[in-house]
Amino acid sequence: MSARTLTYGAAIGEALAEELARDERVVLFGEDVEIHGGIFGVLRGLRQQFGARVFDTPIAENLIAGMAVGAAARGLRPVAELQFADFVLCAADEVLLKAGGWRYTHDGAYTLPLVIRAPSGGYGFGPEHSQCPEAYVMHTPGLRLAVPSSPADVKGLLKSAIRSDDPVVLFEHKLLYPMKGEVPDGEHLVPFGQAAVRRAGDALTVVAWQDMLRRTLKAAETLAAEGIEIEVIDPRTLNPFDWDTLLTSVKKTGGCLVVEEAFRTLGVGAEIGARLMEDAFGYLDRPFKRLAIPDVPVPTAKHLVDQLVPSAETIAATVRGVLA
């Protein structure tokens, strides 16, 4: 199959253009999406292509998410943009309770095929605009959660999310928008619940996604020069989570490190560690380890953020410590 080089941001725009053209039930809305193409500009040109099906909303995240729930219940397939992933918490009632729970509370009377797009992580935006709140969404029954780490995956997962009858929250890491990568031509869908082994190895299993995956792969190159070959797993979706791929890897390596750009306490890594204790304890030759942000607000200044967020050097040092 042939492929083209696209940025992460361009792959998002292409996925949305294809789905808007394919299905007239797809609508796209959020703050400043008409003229500016959203706060990071990845939607530019879609209003001109698809007219009133791409429209602006007021600055009210609970309204945006509530519109998505209502539109989905009435037969549309809305894609709603929240300018920052932190704002999922501003719209928590609509996202966590309504989108996550209404199919159950209404006894399956209708489906809720909606997508909430939410830029996460990064630096320079301060404590209320820089978080990676995956754990809140992963904890909520009824919601699917995608964390694409490459242009190909962000396109394929977004298209799959739009076609799903389940409500999906899709985090797009802000630092990945300019990332370039190969995206297959033609119809390209990535299934939910299938992790990808980004680097094979036998020394230690390392689970990471989005910008932490990029940094982990950089650390893996440093470690390989020292004769340490780690296996790097990109989960791609956190709900559903591909436990089979993780367990297969841990049975081979005997250990696991989770690297995440979120607060350490009760994070995604904590859930992964608990599941390994339950399902793979007999295969672990060394203690499970988490590498995450300390439980402090995310600063605005880049040099302060760099002190908190795991770096490639910190990841490599942590791997050495676990193996020692």
Query: For the chain, what are the domain ranges?
Result: 3-184, 196-323
pLDDT for 2? 86
Residue 50 has pLDDT above 70, yes or no: yes
Right CATH number for 3-184 from 3.40.50.970, 3.60.15.10, 3.90.1150.10, 3.30.460.80? Answer: 3.40.50.970
- The residues annotated as belonging to the active site are 61, 129
What is the spatial order of strands in the sheet that 196-199 belongs to? Answer: 196-199, 231-234, 205-208, 256-263, 289-293
* CB-based contacts of 103, cutoff 8 Å, min separation 6: 110, 111, 112, 142
What 3-state class would DSSP assign to 72? helix
Question: What pTM, to 2 d.p., does this model score?
Answer: 0.96
Average pLDDT over residues 28-57: 95
Average pLDDT over residues 244-260: 98
pLDDT for 261? 97
Average pLDDT over residues 160-186: 97
Right CATH number for 196-323 from 3.40.50.300, 3.40.50.920, 3.40.1390.10, 3.40.50.2300? Answer: 3.40.50.920
pLDDT for 1? 66
Nearest Cα neighbor of 112 from 67, 82, 147 is: 67
Residue 121 has pLDDT above 90, yes or no: yes
Provide, rounded to the nearest whole percent, the portion of the chain with pLDDT above 90.
95
Alpha-carbon distance of 249 to 231, in angstroms, equals 7
pLDDT tens digit sequence for 201-245: 999 999 999 999 999 999 999 999 999 999 999 999 999 999 999
Average pLDDT over residues 231-260: 98
pLDDT for 120? 96
- Comparing 270 with 125, the larger pLDDT belongs to 270
Nearest Cα neighbor of 230 from 211, 244, 242, 215 is: 215
- DSSP 8-state code for residue 52: G
Which token pair is 123? 């630096």
What's the distance, Cα to Cα, between the start and end of the chain in Å?
43
- Comparing 126 with 277, the larger pLDDT belongs to 277
> pLDDT grade, residue 124 (50/70/90)?
confident
Alpha-carbon distance of 146 to 134, in angstroms, equals 9
pLDDT for 126? 87
What is the spatial order of strands in the sheet that 26-30 belongs to? Answer: 54-56, 26-30, 77-81, 115-120, 168-173, 144-146, 237-239
Same fold, 3-184 and 196-323: yes
Mean pLDDT (the chain, rounded): 96
